[in-house]
Structure 1
Amino acid sequence: MKNLKMRSSAIALTALAMLLTSACGKADTTTTNSAASPSAAPSSSADAKAADAKPAAQPVKVIWWHSMSGELGKAVDKLVADFNAAHKDVQVEAVFQGTYDESLNKMKASMDTKSGPSLIQVYEIGSRFMIDSKAITPMQNFIDADKFDISQLEENILNYYSFDKKLYSMPFNTSNPILYYNKDMFKAAGLDPEKPPTTYEDVAAAAQKLSKDGKSGASFAIYGWFMEQFFANQGIEYLNNGNGRTGAATEALVNNDAGVKTLTWWKQMVDNKSASNLGRKTDDTKKAFLAGQVGMTLDSTASLRGIVSGAEGKFQVGTAFLPKPAGAGDGGVVVGGASLYILNNKSEAEQKGAWEFIKYLTTPQVQAYWSVNTGYFPITKKAYDEQLMKDNMTKYPQFKTAVDQLHATKASTATQGAVMGVFPEARQIVEGAIEEALAGKKSPKDALDGAAKSITDKIGAYNKTVK
């Protein structure tokens, strides 16, 4: 494969970097103590008789920048160690680069040099920038050259990272949001703990009944990701031009009826004190939920093990699909998390080495290990046939909700997910609008009108840099 040179001028790259500034970049931080491990081929020791043979060629070194810390980082290190033990010709070095935003900013700074990585993990909302940067070799090139069968992978996960039927990156850590609820509180309030709410109206009614004795019926973090998901779940696009997929997005649609209805519902619960507003940090709502002070909350599927373990001995955790308005159209959830990109300013050998590592990561055994030890979805369907995965599903039956919700998602441009070069900034703008509405500073419509205008202006400025 020819090593492609970057086509963007230094001025364009600088403009892109300035526009895609550091934002919330929330990464899931679920931890687990599982010691399960994928099988790896044993490495053989050198034969003493080979001492006089010609020196073996040096293995290709692949530098992988990632943003997985804590227990997630340990899982990454294990995957790399097992791959290296089984592959003499390619050796991967995993380097933690901080948050998603920090890692992406470091990559931007290295784009005109050879100091950057061969492979980089980038959060989903950085997809448009990565493609526009001209700094990557599309994953589809390797897939086609190798006749790699992508039908073994989850279609609803691949959809997000596909543009014009071409895959530009390989999904790595994938999650989506679900509703978590306290079954014990449901029983005490006279609600059926086996019939969780499915609509906005059901959630509001349940929250009213759960709000007593100083406890709040619900609490949702002010997280732009949730608003994006509420749109997709109604089958409604967040941006024009097919969510930025049939053409470059030029206008934000966050202030349409779906957005106003969602924020009005949310605000009404806060106003009547059946829901508490604990701010932007998902960890704060999670702590309140685990303390038994909140009956329902929204969080990532990657937080499931931590939430279930945290509630152990205190109350039973129930899980349900993300709610939507009664009568809303077909939709589903948009995948969150991150994917892996191969940089095109590296040698053909390095790029092919990175591809070998990516193929290894997609194997059922590795995907089962990754899912069990992190809480993320396996991207490979056959991972669910692995005994390790089966045992985990038995231990955490709540995870079935997450899998069923992913599989029930109807493929469309709405559920494929919005893409724009200024997504991190846009997410923060929406969070600011939600804050204004919940605090009563603006009506939901006025707050979202302001957000839509600000995002549209930023999209316009960004688009000028990539024409």
Structure 2
Amino acid sequence: MTRRTRRTGMILTALLLAISLLAGCGGSGGTGGTSSDGGSGGTQTSGGGQQQAAPQSGEKVKVVFWHAMGGKNGEAVDYLVQKFNSSQDRIVVEAAYQGTYDEALQKLKAAGPEGPTLMQVYEIGSRFMIDSGLITPMQDFIDAENYSIADLEPNILGYYTFDGRLYSMPFNTSTPIVYYNKDAFREAGLDPENPPKTMEEFHEYARKLTKTEGGDTRYGAGIAWYGWFFEQFLAVQGAHYVDNDNGRAAKATRATINTPEGQKILAWLQAMIDDGSAVNLGRKTSDTQAAFSAGRIAMTLDSTAVLSTILSGVGDKFEVGTAFLPRPQGIDGGVIIGGASVWITNVRPKEEQQAAWEFVKWLVEPEQQAEWSIRTGYFPVRKAAYDQQILKEWHAQRPQFTTAIEQLRASKLTTATQGAVIGTFPQARQIVEAAMEAVVLGQKTPEQALAEAEAEITKGIEQYNLTTR
């Protein structure tokens, strides 16, 4: 057994507690416990792919790529992999669907040194990946050939950059936006080209948009009790989720959500439920998507990645508008990206790692990024992708997507908008979601719910940190 293998095994053993915390927390998130952005799903068959030893001279280098993209997103992954394999004769990439993000990460943990060469991991898994000892930072490959990342979107790179080093390459990226029914706006005497900009305006509009007719109520708003949304509303207020600059200056040691900013979020949600201008549809964004598409709610929050899904669901029933995430009056913060990135593991031979890097570079070229965006709805991670004619035409047909690009670029990169980094994030999201529900159901005040959630999240962080000293 090599020194690296022994070291990796020790690290993974040390992380056993953190693994158990992560394992049980994938069931109730805003997208069914799969991602921050409406990501994985579908019914593709999972598989590991047979690993191989270092290739002999003249053989193609095989790169096994584990991912969590199901359905049409999985088809987009397969398309790009086949295109890459056909574009050259030195490397063959084998894509293998591993289930949801949570399931894929559990398989990686179980595989250890027998894992893939390239791995897709949701953004909130970043702290674990860095601590795992299983990865070669992307920055190593960037530095080795002086590869330029200047054309990549800085707000996207910001999430995956730690201590000035890029650890993984952004792959599928999105942000939350407001979706609204322009026809309902007109009917309520509101300007459909002037959506609410603040949380206060959002509530006011929700009241005006709510109406009951023939026993049926159309509510002004419906927002899923989703932890990702809570994080976003902290960021737009410039507030942190955890200490040590959101875990960016040093490892986080405690949660910092029971603050005036955090309490304002829950009080705002509670007020809309209490006066009947918003309806409680639970934690899943799939339920708010369905209600919006059916015309039961006039405004909702969701990922930019589901724009095509929502437009398809609405059809010609009404005109869909999109807007920036609302923020408190007088505050002009930004949003945090969601989605996932790809990581090169260090458990495979150097030749495979280098081959994986060649595939990653190809994947973020403008042409591939434009195709990926069109096929999935995710952002291109490269600015030059927007110069591709096919993407220009696609956006011309879906002007709502412009909102997402403008919001991303209008968000100043700070430690708040970079997003928090903790090893127990999936667990933390569920804790926050439970706090959100307790408040809107009238069981607890915002301060009570957040005080308890903050203490519970802090306990999880402390336990995780004990395993990664």
TM-score of the aligned structures, taking structure 2 as reference length: 0.92
What is the aligned partner in structure 2 of residue 202 from structure 1? Answer: 201
Residue 164 of structure 1, CA deviation: 0.4
Counterpart amino acid of residue 90 in structure 1: I
What is the aligned partner in structure 2 of residue 286 from structure 1? Answer: 289
Counterpart amino acid of residue 274 in structure 2: D
Whether 2:246 is the aligned partner of 1:243: answer yes
Q: Write the distance in 1 (CA, Å) between the matches of 2:293 and 2:15.
A: 45
What is the aligned partner in structure 1 of residue 447 from structure 2? Answer: 445
Identity of aligned residues (%): 54
Residue 29 of structure 1, CA deviation: 4.8
User: What are the Cα deviations for residues 136-178 of structure 1, in whole angstroms up to 9, with x where unaligned?
Assistant: 0000000111211000100000000000000000000000100
Counterpart amino acid of residue 412 in structure 1: T
**Contact persistence 2:85–2:92 (CA under 8 A):** yes
Counterpart amino acid of residue 102 in structure 2: D
Whether 2:98 is the aligned partner of 1:97: answer yes
Structure 1 unaligned residues grouped into runs of 5+: 32-54
Residue 8 of structure 1, CA deviation: 5.7
Counterpart amino acid of residue 252 in structure 2: A
* Structure 1 consecutive aligned stretches of length 4 or more whose deviation exceeds 2 Å: 2-8, 13-16, 19-31
More displaced 10-residue stretch of structure 1: 229-238 or 93-102: 229-238
What is the aligned partner in structure 2 of residue 193 from structure 1? Answer: 192
Residue 444 of structure 1, CA deviation: 1.1
What is the aligned partner in structure 1 of residue 72 from structure 2? Answer: 71
**Contact persistence 2:327–2:333 (CA under 8 A):** no
Q: Write the distance in 2 (CA, Å) between the matches of 1:67 and 1:30.
A: 8
User: What are the Cα deviations for residues 36-65 of structure 1, in whole angstroms up to 9, with x where unaligned?
Assistant: xxxxxxxxxxxxxxxxxxx97110100000
Q: Write the distance in 2 (CA, Å) between the matches of 1:211 and 1:12.
A: 53
Residue 309 of structure 1, CA deviation: 2.4
TM-score of the aligned structures, taking structure 1 as reference length: 0.92
What is the aligned partner in structure 2 of residue 425 from structure 1? Answer: 427
More displaced 10-residue stretch of structure 1: 18-27 or 188-197: 18-27
**Contact persistence 1:22–1:101 (CA under 8 A):** no
Q: Write the distance in 1 (CA, Å) between the matches of 2:18 and 2:60.
A: 35
What is the aligned partner in structure 2 of residue 35 from structure 1? Answer: none
Q: Write the distance in 2 (CA, Å) between the matches of 1:318 and 1:3.
A: 57
**Contact persistence 2:333–2:412 (CA under 8 A):** yes
Aligned residue for 2:150, secondary structure, equals helix
Q: Write the distance in 2 (CA, Å) between the matches of 1:242 and 1:430.
A: 20
| Alignment partner of 1:26 out of 16, 34, 49 | 34
Residue 234 of structure 1, CA deviation: 1.1
Structure 2 unaligned residues grouped into runs of 5+: 27-32, 41-55
Q: Write the distance in 2 (CA, Å) between the matches of 1:211 and 1:286.
A: 18
What is the aligned partner in structure 2 of residue 378 from structure 1? Answer: 380
Residue 20 of structure 1, CA deviation: 2.4
Aligned residue for 2:58, secondary structure, equals coil
Q: Within 5 Å, give how 1:180-329 maps onto structure 2.
A: 180-213=179-212, 214-328=217-331
- Say if 1:118 and 1:30 are closer, same or farther in 2 by CA, change over 3 A: closer
How many residues are matched? 440
**Contact persistence 2:288–2:300 (CA under 8 A):** yes
**Contact persistence 1:207–1:217 (CA under 8 A):** yes
Q: Write the distance in 2 (CA, Å) between the matches of 1:407 and 1:211.
A: 33
**Contact persistence 2:18–2:463 (CA under 8 A):** no
Q: Write the distance in 1 (CA, Å) between the matches of 2:420 and 2:57.
A: 48
Aligned residue for 1:219, secondary structure, equals coil
User: What are the Cα deviations for residues 371-408 of structure 1, in whole angstroms up to 9, with x where unaligned?
Assistant: 01100000011000000110011000000000000000
Residue 255 of structure 1, CA deviation: 1.1
**Contact persistence 1:3–1:346 (CA under 8 A):** no
User: What are the Cα deviations for residues 6-43 of structure 1, in whole angstroms up to 9, with x where unaligned?
Assistant: 44615303233223224234334579xxxxxxxxxxxx
Counterpart amino acid of residue 465 in structure 2: N
Q: Write the distance in 1 (CA, Å) between the matches of 2:154 and 2:4.
A: 29
Aligned residue for 2:96, secondary structure, equals strand
Residue 89 of structure 1, CA deviation: 0.9
Q: Write the distance in 2 (CA, Å) between the matches of 1:457 and 1:4.
A: 31
More displaced 10-residue stretch of structure 1: 162-171 or 304-313: 304-313
Q: Write the distance in 2 (CA, Å) between the matches of 1:415 and 1:60.
A: 39
Residue 322 of structure 1, CA deviation: 0.3
Counterpart amino acid of residue 15 in structure 1: L
Counterpart amino acid of residue 69 in structure 2: M
User: What are the Cα deviations for residues 86-112 of structure 1, in whole angstroms up to 9, with x where unaligned?
Assistant: 12111000000000000000000111x
**Contact persistence 1:8–1:133 (CA under 8 A):** no
Residue 364 of structure 1, CA deviation: 0.2
Q: Write the distance in 2 (CA, Å) between the matches of 1:26 and 1:184.
A: 32
Aligned residue for 1:194, secondary structure, equals coil
Counterpart amino acid of residue 419 in structure 1: V
Counterpart amino acid of residue 153 in structure 1: L
**Contact persistence 2:117–2:353 (CA under 8 A):** yes
Q: Write the distance in 2 (CA, Å) between the matches of 1:443 and 1:297.
A: 24
Aligned residue for 1:249, secondary structure, equals coil
What is the aligned partner in structure 2 of residue 414 from structure 1? Answer: 416
Residue 262 of structure 1, CA deviation: 0.8
Q: Write the distance in 2 (CA, Å) between the matches of 1:462 and 1:162.
A: 21
What is the aligned partner in structure 1 of residue 134 from structure 2? Answer: 135
Aligned residue for 1:132, secondary structure, equals helix
Q: Write the distance in 1 (CA, Å) between the matches of 2:288 and 2:89.
A: 47
**Contact persistence 1:4–1:137 (CA under 8 A):** no
Residue 3 of structure 1, CA deviation: 11
Aligned residue for 1:192, secondary structure, equals coil
More displaced 10-residue stretch of structure 1: 60-69 or 305-314: 305-314
What is the aligned partner in structure 1 of residue 118 from structure 2? Answer: 119
